[in-house]
Amino acid sequence: MSDILENEVESLERPVAAEVKKPPKINKYFQAVYDLSASDLHLKAGSPAKVRVKGDIKNINNDVLSNERLEAMIFEIMTPVQRERYAEKGSMDFAYQLNDRVRYRINVFRQRGKTSVAARRINDKILNYNQLHLPPSLERIADLHQGLVILAGITGSGKTTTIAAMLQQINERRACHIVTIEDPIEFLYEDRKAFINQREIGIDVQSFPDALKYLMREDPDVVLIGEMRDRETFEAALNAAETGHLVFCTIHASSAPSTIARILDLFEEGERDLIRLSLVFNLQAIICLKLLPGLKPDVPRLPACEVMIANSMIRKLIEEKRDHEIHAVMRASYHEGMLDFTESLRQMVEGEFISVKTAYAAAPNPDELKMRLKGIKVSGGGIIG
């Protein structure tokens, strides 16, 4: 009898082996993206998994994914709330941490009644301007303490990576409070001289309007608003800039003048003069980006940049509705750190970072680029002060 009791006690004291939870099945695709040094993963019902490598879409294998299998995989890493919102709205953004080093920004969306997934791999390290091949004038812009800095470009043009480099500069140099409002959070910052609060839509706060409503009560010095999607978001960004904060935000636009036009389109015609005046006083810079395939193996993709810095002449043109003349001022102001796409492309070709063919395809004016490559400078004249 005592032997039986002793055995029972021993069995109770021995640790029970915990059930090993299998990793989500979708992890193998995320790991493949990392192993192939790809930037994006695309999953679509009825098609094989695809990745983007050096700008080109390629199949991982020939295994066709059914809608049921794809939904089972992606729903496994979504929360019940995220699944509910996807079912309701047909689209859902969230971030996913594969391991300590690899993180993804994921968009799940419905097309033709079936599920698709687009996942962007986020670099685990925040790179600096030199590593990203960004112009040095961005360092001066990030040193500002007040005003509005807008980053423009299509999805996947490098806006988030560029902002991360600028915020990290502030983090390392300035004792201040940085607040980010993101959907979803992408880069994760560690406090250095600054301390940083990152708020994710749908997890930390219900919506952008809710986050912006309480933003000023959080005592920020520097603010990142992930994307200007509507007039309410832009008004909040302007209000923060007007009250002495440095505000970073992003927008989908292709150039500095089109960025201004895109902002004005958010408002009724009768309100646009007031918004122009606010831009005159608060806009510090517009940085536009295009990510291009590179020639060097260690630099598979790099950005062409347009940098507009709001000097007195730029502010005058914005106030007088002469946006079409902004590029001429930029061409005459390279010494101030400004840069247009044509000059950026010329520098990239002459530095043998991109091919001439790539440069011409990306150039807003191929004929002007051709002249620049021949050493013929286009005059920035025609501007009347």
The reported pTM is 0.83
- Please return the burial class of 33, using the count of CB atoms within 10 Å of its CB with bins 0-12, 13-18 and 19+: buried
Q: Which two tokens stand for residue 3?
A: 């032997």
Determine the Cα–Cα distance for residues 352 and 38; give it in Å rounded to an integer: 23
Q: Which two tokens stand for residue 99?
A: 């391991």
Is 6 a member of any domain? no
Strand partners, 308: 286
Per residue in 3-33, pLDDT (tens digit) is: 443 444 444 455 544 555 789 999 999 999 9
- Of 77, 96, 122, which residue is a domain's last? 122
Task: Report pLDDT for 3.
Answer: 47
The stretches in the chain having pLDDT less than 70 are 1-20, 377-385
Determine the Cα–Cα distance for residues 183 and 95; give it in Å rounded to an integer: 9
Determine the Cα–Cα distance for residues 226 and 248; give it in Å rounded to an integer: 8
- Whether 197 and 327 map to the same domain: the answer is yes
Alpha helices in the chain (DSSP H): 2-13, 27-35, 67-76, 80-89, 129-132, 137-142, 159-173, 208-213, 231-242, 256-264, 272-282, 312-319, 326-331, 341-350, 356-362, 366-373
- Whether 183 and 80 map to the same domain: the answer is no
Which structural domain, as residue segments, surrounds residue 74?
30-122
Is 1 a member of any domain? no
| Cα-based distances in Å from 96 to 76, 121, 268 | 11, 10, 39
Instruction: Sheet containing 48-53: give its strands across.
Output: 56-64, 48-53, 40-44, 114-122, 103-111, 91-97
- Whether 116 and 163 map to the same domain: the answer is no
- Whether 118 and 145 map to the same domain: the answer is no
Main-chain dihedrals φ then ψ at residue 209, nearest 5 degrees: -55, -40
Strand partners, 44: 116
- CATH number of the domain that residue 54 is part of: 3.30.450.90
Q: Which two tokens stand for residue 317?
A: 């043109």
